[in-house]
Amino acid sequence: MLHHLIRQAAQHGFGDGLSLTPLPAPSRRGFLKAIGAGAGALVVGAHLPMPALAAEAAPKIVGPADPRPHAFVIVAPDNTVTVLAKHLDKGQGIVTGLATIVAEEIDADWSQVRGAFAPADQKLYANHFFGVQGTGGSTAVANSWDELRMAGAAARAMLVAAASARWKVPAGEVTVSKGVVRHAASNRSATFGELAEEAAKLPVPQQVKLKEQKDYVLIGKPDLHRLDHISKTNGTAIFSMDIRRPGQVTAVLARSPRFGGTVKSVDDAAARKVPGVIEVISLPVGVAVIAKNTWAAMKGREALTVAWDDAKAETRGTDAMLADYRKTAEKPGSVAANKGDADKAIADAKAKGGHAVDGEFVFPYLAHAPMEPLNAVVALNPEGGCTIWAGSQFQTVEQMTAAHILGCKPEQVKIETQWAGGSFGRRATTNADYIAEAVMIAKAYPKAPVHLVWTREDDIKGGRYRPLFLHRITAAVDAKGALVGWKQRIVGQSFMAGTPFEAVMVKDGVDATMVEGASDMAYPVANLAVDAHTVASPVTTLWWRSVGHTHTAYAKEVMIDRLAKAAGKDPVAFRMEMLKDHPRLAGVLKLAAEKAGWGQPLAQGKGRGVAVHESFNTYVAHVADVTVDAKGQIKVDRIVVAVDCGEVVNPDIVKAQMEGGAGWGIGHALRGEITMTDGVVDQANFDSYLPLRMSDMPVVEVHIVPSHERPTGAGEPGVPTVAPAVANAVFSVTGQPLQTLPFSRGGIVS
């Protein structure tokens, strides 16, 4: 649903003059230049027009129904096959994943395959679930699958046609394997590179035959290395933080310490005296200090005296906000789900020998804190517009925002997407926040390329957090132990409210991203009432790896264990009974439980817990093993995860995402929280916003369900169930449900 709504929102436009005008396709020359390929490369037919959203007309294919090899694959005379990735790689391995799909169909040898980031171009590179170019929602493989298979197959057909013409043999007798084109009968062969120039002159086939799964030689194979596995181990991989343009200056920005505060007055005399400081500029978003280098910029900012106007700022602390949330939760919210009569079902269950369980869950604000702090380099172009070097995640939004600031056309904004040092959702914003800042500074200081750098303190204090949430749940099992009623109220901020997405993402007062995973839960509860309150605050919030499921799956799965206990049932058995109509959820639950040795006796102080959930059309179950020591301190020993994400392109990358997802979930559950005192964030850096470290990391065992279903995502779905599995493991030892996050609040984590 999220995908559909984002696409609708995109089509409705971004308001404030940022309408989504279709952009012309880049010229062939521009393309070649962009990816550094030489003349004679196979980049075919730069004109292929395509229906923007052919998925609507042909539901079996996501994206345009005709092959577009020119957009995605370049076979160069040097025998390299470069796959252009329209998606940002922020560690999830998508450059490798997309390249694998193309390489499979073109029958390349993996050693000749390269990856490059595609330019920003909505028309060529829209995410077919969004309608704009962007990465998110674990959609990258799912929306690229059809177009990349067709692109690879078309390029292969063109190479075959070129060989057929050169050798004057029937195309049907020409074979391709590992980057070599052969005609067995005449014992002739040629490399891709040798045929590239001739193939480039041939027409693009409009129909292509795709491989069958049984014929795959690359897709699904565990032994392919990531395309970035060498450059990221010898320091040569370039992130936007590493961009150094001629004459480039560095900027840092002083922002209001309170969300919603604005600049009242600035005394920059001392800052201007700091050696290396070039300029100080007041902007609507803060005060920019521009300097010769990063150190001077930071020192200059320290020397600024800025008075802030807090008239419109958030001045509450998080304790006061939570107290307000609790008051709000006393009243009914906007209805997200309403089946049967939950109140009656719960009352009846209590009256007739069943059990009701109440739970209040508190989820803190959380920062994304990607290892590479936010940054972007912006150079104004002499002919108008600008070039942006960034770990760009929502290219179309960023193009339009920059164009709006500069008063140019979106197509005059070039984006050179770089490897991103993590994101977890942070680099995708509806207003291009840090990129907009960089463009504003570049506009005010047009003399040189500007590198805007956020420090870690800027990042931790800078908002765009996973919202603070309060959940109140009452649920009941009847005398037979069947789940009969569930009432849930969710209170928190909507990060869709006030954005161009609001009109379609918020329906009847409910932001879909606040209740996903709750209002549509898989457990068949005949009497289900879920409602939500959207509260307002100047504190900025955002999607955060796995979005609403970060809290809804947690609350649901911890409650399910409490209900299983009340019903006297085993947690796995209780869930299995309820998932009869959900074979893929039941499948991962069964697999994880078997692999973890569910039901085997555990030593004193050891606990085992389970959780299962669907998010982003992927099915995941976690079993966690924990130790609770004599002092009540917990340690996560082992995580077993089972995942069903359909056809798997790169099993080792899915495995890596499950390992990383486990760490992400555990790390924040243990110690992650952003709190505020009188509106000022209490944390500043990794000494106070405590990240997961090596000694916290459990053993992680990953099991992937073999599948012929369409591929879905792996970046986010590995997160939602790991923390509740850990909580349920602790619950199995202590009998105390963990309902306030992080666990460090309960004194059980050092």
Partner 1 sequence: MVRINVNGEERQVDVPEDMPLLWVLRDELNMTGTKFGCGIAQCGACTVHVDGTPTRACQTPVGMLTPDSKITTIEGVKGKAAQAVQAAWQKLDVVQCGYCQSGQIMSAVALLTDNQNPTDQDIDAAMDGNVCRCATYVRIRAAIKDAAQTMRA
The tokens describing 597, both together, are 């040795």
Examine residue 91 and tell whether it contacts partner 1 (CB under 8 A): yes
Examine residue 93 and tell whether it contacts partner 1 (CB under 8 A): yes
Residue from 113, 218, 420, 530 touching partner 1 (CB under 8 A): that is 420
CA dist., res. 437 & res. 435, Å (int): 5
Residue from 607, 667, 713, 742 touching partner 1 (CB under 8 A): that is 667
Distance linking the first and last C-alpha atoms of the chain: 40
CA dist., res. 162 & res. 175, Å (int): 12
Examine residue 664 and tell whether it contacts partner 1 (CB under 8 A): yes
Examine residue 682 and tell whether it contacts partner 1 (CB under 8 A): no
Examine residue 357 and tell whether it contacts partner 1 (CB under 8 A): no
CA dist., res. 683 & res. 693, Å (int): 18
> Do residues 579 and 522 make contact, with C-beta atoms less than 8 angstroms apart?
yes
> Do residues 25 and 118 make contact, with C-beta atoms less than 8 angstroms apart?
no
Q: Which amino acid is at 67?
A: P
Closest C-alpha to 322, from 123, 471, 145, 521? 471
Residue from 7, 68, 90, 551 touching partner 1 (CB under 8 A): that is 90
Q: Which residue lies nearer to partner 1 by CB, 413 or 639?
A: 639
Examine residue 294 and tell whether it contacts partner 1 (CB under 8 A): yes
Q: Which residue lies nearer to partner 1 by CB, 424 or 743?
A: 424
Examine residue 364 and tell whether it contacts partner 1 (CB under 8 A): no
Determine the distance from the C-alpha atom of residue 160 to the mean position of all C-alpha atoms in its chain, rounded to a whole number. 38
Closest C-alpha to 84, from 97, 100, 95, 92? 95
- Span 96-135, contacts to partner 1 by CB under 8 A: none
Residue from 203, 630, 694, 735 touching partner 1 (CB under 8 A): that is 694
* Binding-residue total with partner 1 (CB under 8 A): 62
Q: Which residue lies nearer to partner 1 by CB, 365 or 419?
A: 419
- Span 503-542, contacts to partner 1 by CB under 8 A: none
Closest C-alpha to 469, from 409, 404, 408, 535? 535
Examine residue 369 and tell whether it contacts partner 1 (CB under 8 A): yes
Q: Which residue lies nearer to partner 1 by CB, 245 or 606?
A: 245
Q: Which stretch binds partner 1 (CB under 8 A): 287-295, 376-384, 441-449, 604-612?
A: 287-295
Residue from 64, 286, 421, 713 touching partner 1 (CB under 8 A): that is 421
> Do residues 523 and 483 make contact, with C-beta atoms less than 8 angstroms apart?
yes
Least separation, in Å, of the C-beta of 118 and partner 1? 19
Residue from 269, 599, 686, 747 touching partner 1 (CB under 8 A): that is 686
Q: Which stretch binds partner 1 (CB under 8 A): 171-179, 467-475, 584-592, 657-665?
A: 657-665
Q: Which residue lies nearer to partner 1 by CB, 90 or 575?
A: 90
CA dist., res. 135 & res. 124, Å (int): 14
Sheet holding 699-704, edge to edge: 606-615, 618-628, 634-644, 699-704
Residue from 371, 479, 536, 573 touching partner 1 (CB under 8 A): that is 371
Q: Which stretch binds partner 1 (CB under 8 A): 1-9, 222-230, 600-608, 742-750?
A: 222-230
Q: Which stretch binds partner 1 (CB under 8 A): 111-119, 129-137, 659-667, 732-740?
A: 659-667
CA dist., res. 67 & res. 495, Å (int): 37
Residue from 60, 168, 187, 234 touching partner 1 (CB under 8 A): that is 234
Examine residue 250 and tell whether it contacts partner 1 (CB under 8 A): yes
> Do residues 84 and 118 make contact, with C-beta atoms less than 8 angstroms apart?
yes
Residue from 187, 213, 236, 600 touching partner 1 (CB under 8 A): that is 236
For residue 323, give the H/E element and its range: helix 318-328
Least separation, in Å, of the C-beta of 296 and partner 1? 8
Convert residues 556-595 into a mask of x (bound to partner 1 by CB under 8 A) and - (unbound): ----------------------------------------
Examine residue 660 and tell whether it contacts partner 1 (CB under 8 A): yes
Least separation, in Å, of the C-beta of 240 and partner 1? 11
Angle at 66 between CA 65 and CA 70, to 5 degrees: 135
Examine residue 633 and tell whether it contacts partner 1 (CB under 8 A): no
Examine residue 730 and tell whether it contacts partner 1 (CB under 8 A): no
CA dist., res. 395 & res. 55, Å (int): 21
Examine residue 637 and tell whether it contacts partner 1 (CB under 8 A): no
CA dist., res. 376 & res. 541, Å (int): 21
Q: Which residue lies nearer to partner 1 by CB, 155 or 620?
A: 620
Residues 6+ apart with CB under 8 A from 389: 240, 243, 245, 376, 377, 378, 416, 418
Any idea what DSSP says for residue 320? Answer: H
Residue from 58, 184, 185, 238 touching partner 1 (CB under 8 A): that is 238
Q: Which residue lies nearer to partner 1 by CB, 294 or 334?
A: 294
Residue from 526, 697, 705, 749 touching partner 1 (CB under 8 A): that is 697
Examine residue 692 and tell whether it contacts partner 1 (CB under 8 A): yes
CA dist., res. 639 & res. 617, Å (int): 22
> Do residues 43 and 429 make contact, with C-beta atoms less than 8 angstroms apart?
no
Closest C-alpha to 667, from 690, 700, 685? 690
Q: Give φ, ψ of 324 to 5 degrees.
A: -65, -40
Residue from 78, 109, 242, 360 touching partner 1 (CB under 8 A): that is 242
Cα dist. 594→341, 582, 647, 729, 750 in Å? 37, 18, 22, 16, 32
Residues interacting with partner 1, by CB under 8 A?
90-93, 225-226, 228-239, 241-242, 244, 250, 275, 293-295, 298, 369-373, 419-422, 424, 453, 455-457, 652-653, 656, 659-664, 667, 685-687, 691-695, 697, 699-700
